[in-house]
Amino acid sequence: MNVLDIVDLTVGFTVESGVSTVVDRVSFSVGQGEVVGLVGESGSGKSVTAMSIVSLLPSPPSQLLGGTVALNGVQISGLSNKELQKVRGAQVGFIFQEPMTSLNPVYTIGFQLIEAIRIHEKIKKSQARERSIDMLKRVGVSEPEIRMKQYPHELSGGLRQRVMITMAVLCRPQLLIADEPTTALDVTIQAQILQVLQGLKSELNLSMLLITHDLGVVSEVCDRVVVMYAGRIIEEGKTTDVLQHPQHPYTAALLQSSPSLDERVKRLSTIPGRVKAPQDRGAGCNFVDRCVNASTKCFEFEPELVASYGSQVACWNPVS
């Protein structure tokens, strides 16, 4: 049984002209102990998809237009906020992109970690404190007893992110959702954070959904990759298959625009144009106006995901 099953998830936002669809019929799963990478440019719908799993988006303006989300076979889409509070943190842990906006600046690190445990478990404050210190040690935080007494602004960006990771796994969730967890960090700290996540995955038998635009990160830690564009999934498969033999022109273009240690180039490739705004999306493929392989059919009909060289791709003219 999969830890996470998303089927035809469709999410919209209320705007002046009506409801604009941001995530359109997205379906994928995360297996037990598996790391799945959700990849795409800004505006592709990655974060909206992730936040919609446990209804973290404000409603209004967001609303679930269709589809289901299930954890271990139990449907959680449509649960009340009170019921979802039992899921968040306990069954699903979140690591957000910018910890300074996620950690409360007026409370100490210790207070926030202890509170995160005691919301879900009836244990003594002293026990919650011991567990927090132990988990801080596991994620590589030096002098955890001192850090417990400090406030978020007193920590470096790397330490704040380690605290966020600690908070996300304190209650040993089955699924960890990491939304761009290394974006704001320098390269050295990025590598350390990825090492921490990989270690926790093995130690706690976590399943993980990793949202990123960095294909280098995907190649290091992900078992499978799901590529999103303009709110839809356009390619999905094993990481090695997708990265070595991309089938969608968009995936191929993303790879060409990523730096490589094996090849020295003066200037990286770029993808002309930008992702269409939700209100501008219509019939046909949404990548058509940026695609080098576009044909008349691409403008008129939306391609569905079909098997192609070990992956699934939604394209009328896949890369051969």
For the chain, the average pLDDT equals 92
* Tens-digit pLDDT profile for residues 172-190: 999 999 999 887 778 888 8
pLDDT score of 44: 93
Tell me, yes or no, whether 320 lies in a domain. Answer: no
Q: Sorting pLDDT into bands at 50, 70 and 90, what band is 279? A: confident
Nearest to 157 by CA among 192, 123, 132: 192
Contact 23, 231 (CB under 8 A): yes
8-state DSSP, 88: B
Percent of the chain at pLDDT exceeding 70: 97
What is the rounded (10 degree) CA torsion for 156, 217, 229, 177?
-60
The CA distances from residue 115 to 85, 121, 123, 287, in Å, are: 14, 10, 11, 45
Sort 56 into a burial class: Cβ within 10 Å, 0-12 / 13-18 / 19+: middle
Q: Sorting pLDDT into bands at 50, 70 and 90, what band is 16? A: confident
pLDDT score of 214: 87
Residue 73 pLDDT exceeds 80: yes
Range of the domain at 106: 4-313
For the chain, how many helices (H) and strands (E)?
Answer: 12, 12
Residue 35 pLDDT exceeds 90: yes
Q: How far apart are CA 320 and CA 300, in angstroms?
A: 22
* Tens-digit pLDDT profile for residues 75-126: 999 899 899 999 999 999 999 877 778 899 999 999 999 999 999 999 999 9
Tell me, yes or no, whether 176 lies in a domain. Answer: yes
Q: How far apart are CA 274 and CA 260, in angstroms?
A: 23
| Domain CATH number, residue 121 | 3.40.50.300
Q: How far apart are CA 69 and CA 192, in angstroms?
A: 32
Tell me, yes or no, whether 318 lies in a domain. Answer: no
Can you tell me whether residue 105 is helix, strand or coil? Answer: coil
Q: How many structural domains are present in the chain?
A: 1
Give percent helix, percent strand, percent coil of the chain, each to the nearest 5: 35, 25, 40
Tell me, yes or no, whether 95 lies in a domain. Answer: yes
Tell me, yes or no, whether 23 lies in a domain. Answer: yes
Measured in degrees and rounded to the nearest 5, phi and psi for residue 238 equal -60, 145
Give the containing element (helix H, strand E) for 67. strand 62-71
* Tens-digit pLDDT profile for residues 221-273: 999 999 999 999 999 999 999 999 999 999 999 998 877 655 565 677 888 88
Tell me, yes or no, whether 35 lies in a domain. Answer: yes
